[in-house]
């Protein structure tokens, strides 16, 4: 009878250890999940800020597009005048 009780005692200790380990594993997973959730919230805020900045930059670029077109046109005219000058000098 003593060996039977000893076996049940050892078996129950083993099961308690396994349950404790499983419980601790779940606690670790829960903490990791909470931390990852916070990281995703931070990343979401960063992405929202980047998106806003890109929209702002696109608006600025659109506002300056006529000036950029004029600069390109002026550069083309200068290049054409430069070629004409080289031809005249030749």
1 DSSP 8-state letter: -
90 DSSP 8-state letter: -
pLDDT, one tens digit per residue, over 14-66 is 999 899 999 999 999 999 999 999 999 999 999 999 999 999 999 999 999 99
Q: pLDDT at residue 4 above 90?
A: no
Q: Which has the closest alpha carbon to 53: 45, 5, 78, 70?
A: 45
CA atoms within 13 A on the CB side of 12: 6
CB proximity list for 16: less than 8 A, separation 6 or greater: none
* Per-residue pLDDT, 3: 86
Determine what percent of the chain is predicted with pLDDT higher than 90. 78
Question: How far apart, in whole angstroms, are the C-alpha atoms of residue 35 and residue 14?
Answer: 32
Q: Can you read off the two tokens belonging to residue 86?
A: 């080289």
Q: pLDDT at residue 1 above 80?
A: no
């Amino acid at each position: 009878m003593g060996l039977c009780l000893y076996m049940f005692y050892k078996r129950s200790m083993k099961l308690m250890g396994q349950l404790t380990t499983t419980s601790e594993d779940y606690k670790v997973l829960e903490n990791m999940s909470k931390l990852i959730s916070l990281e995703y919230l931070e990343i979401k805020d960063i992405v929202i800020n980047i998106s806003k900045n890109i929209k702002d930059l696109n608006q600025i670029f659109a506002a300056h597009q006529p000036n950029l077109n004029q600069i390109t046109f002026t550069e083309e005219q200068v290049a054409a005048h430069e070629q004409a000058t080289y031809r005249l000098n030749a």
